[in-house]
């Protein structure tokens, strides 16, 4: 597929989807949302890890492209969220392989919550996250009301949403909002190393792991133990498990195939 608002690259089992509208800080328009949706689905089939990042260095994603004020005020936001954002966010959530957001600049509004939709968020120390919605009379959307309290707790989530403060990557790291904040120098090399680790890992186990951790919020202990047993039983039938055991006994690195 030919992409115009993003770039798509697959190499060494790593798919990198780069938001590529740097002139508007990688703001999300209709075409970009559709292209991200397609690219993540494609990457989930062609690679063993999918990375989302932004072009230009200033921003990961500045959120919804509001265009001029007149058009923005007349947006049917319910339709846009239902028909355009929801498929994109579900494509990331349902991706069968691990997903990483490599946040290399400002992540604001829907752009912040796009980042948080990934399994792992790695940010430069200079990056900031802004739940900017109340600044224009809106509530957090693009999954923000779901992800924020789960990742940073009710108190921090409520404050971040109400005040729309800038949250530095270091704060986000300290609060559990993201996985890690790392130095700007060497950032790409760092997230590529992280991606390579996952791309060479036991892919089926990663998929089961995501299912188990997500289900834990709604399950009782008995339900969670039963789910663990069922998923672990499936993992135990994979070639990767057998390879992992043999590699452990032979004291060598495992050569996982992702099946």
Residues 242, 184: one domain?
A: no
The residues, ordered by sequence, that sit 6+ positions from 111 with a Cβ below 8 Å of its Cβ are 26, 27, 28, 59, 60, 61, 62, 63
Give the integer Cα–Cα distance in Å for 131 and 141. Answer: 9
What are the Cα distances from residue 2, in Å, to 6, 18, 167, 228, 243? Answer: 9, 14, 35, 41, 38
Residues 26, 82: one domain?
A: yes
Residues 91, 161: one domain?
A: yes
Residues 91, 212: one domain?
A: no
Name the nearest CA neighbour of 146 among 99, 81, 65. Answer: 81
Boundary (domain end) residue, out of 181, 199, 217: 199
Residue 254, domain member (yes or no) = no
Residues 233, 165: one domain?
A: no
Residues 190, 227: one domain?
A: no
Q: Tens of pLDDT along the chain (259 residues)?
A: 789 999 999 999 999 999 999 999 999 999 999 999 999 999 999 999 999 999 988 899 999 998 745 566 677 889 999 999 999 999 999 999 999 999 999 999 999 999 999 999 999 999 999 999 999 999 999 999 999 999 999 999 999 999 999 999 999 999 999 999 999 999 999 999 999 999 999 999 999 999 999 999 999 999 999 999 999 999 999 999 999 999 999 999 999 998 8
Here the tokens at position 221 are 């202990």
Give the integer Cα–Cα distance in Å for 121 and 249. Answer: 34
Residues 148, 54: one domain?
A: yes
The residues, ordered by sequence, that sit 6+ positions from 1 with a Cβ below 8 Å of its Cβ are 8, 38, 39, 42
Residues 136, 192: one domain?
A: yes
Answer yes or no: are the C-beta atoms of 146 and 213 closer than 8 Å. Answer: no
Give the integer Cα–Cα distance in Å for 91 and 35. Answer: 11
Give the integer Cα–Cα distance in Å for 164 and 183. Answer: 25
Note down the domain range covering 223. Answer: 203-249
Here the tokens at position 139 are 């509530």
Answer yes or no: are the C-beta atoms of 94 and 119 closer than 8 Å. Answer: no
Domain count, the chain: 2
- What is the per-residue pLDDT for 71? 65
Here the tokens at position 79 are 């339709």
């Amino acid at each position: 597929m030919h992409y115009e608002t993003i770039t798509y690259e697959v190499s060494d089992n790593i798919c990198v989807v780069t938001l590529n509208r740097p002139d508007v800080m990688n703001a999300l328009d209709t075409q970009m949302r559709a292209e991200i949706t397609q690219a993540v689905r494609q990457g989930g089939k062609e690679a063993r890890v999918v990375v989302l990042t932004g072009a230009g260095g200033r921003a990961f994603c500045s959120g919804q492209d509001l265009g001029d004020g007149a058009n923005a005020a007349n947006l049917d936001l319910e339709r846009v969220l239902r028909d355009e954002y929801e498929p994109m966010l579900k494509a990331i959530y349902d991706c069968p392989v691990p997903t990483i957001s490599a946040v290399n600049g400002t992540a604001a509004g829907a752009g912040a919550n796009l980042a948080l939709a990934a399994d792992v968020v790695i940010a430069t120390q200079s990056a900031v996250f802004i739940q900017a919605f109340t600044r224009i009379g809106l509530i957090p959307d693009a999954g923000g009301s779901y992800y924020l309290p789960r990742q940073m707790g009710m108190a921090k989530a409520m404050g971040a949403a109400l005040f729309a403060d800038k949250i530095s990557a270091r704060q986000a790291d300290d609060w559990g909002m993201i996985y890690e904040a790392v130095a700007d120098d060497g950032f790409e090399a760092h997230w590529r190393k992280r991606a390579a680790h996952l791309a060479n890992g036991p892919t089926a186990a990663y998929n089961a792991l995501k299912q188990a951790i997500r289900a834990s919020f709604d399950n009782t202990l008995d339900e969670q133990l039963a789910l663990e047993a069922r998923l672990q039983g499936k993992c135990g039938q994979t070639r990767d498990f057998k390879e992992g055991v043999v590699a452990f006994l032979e004291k060598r690195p495992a050569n996982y195939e992702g099946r």
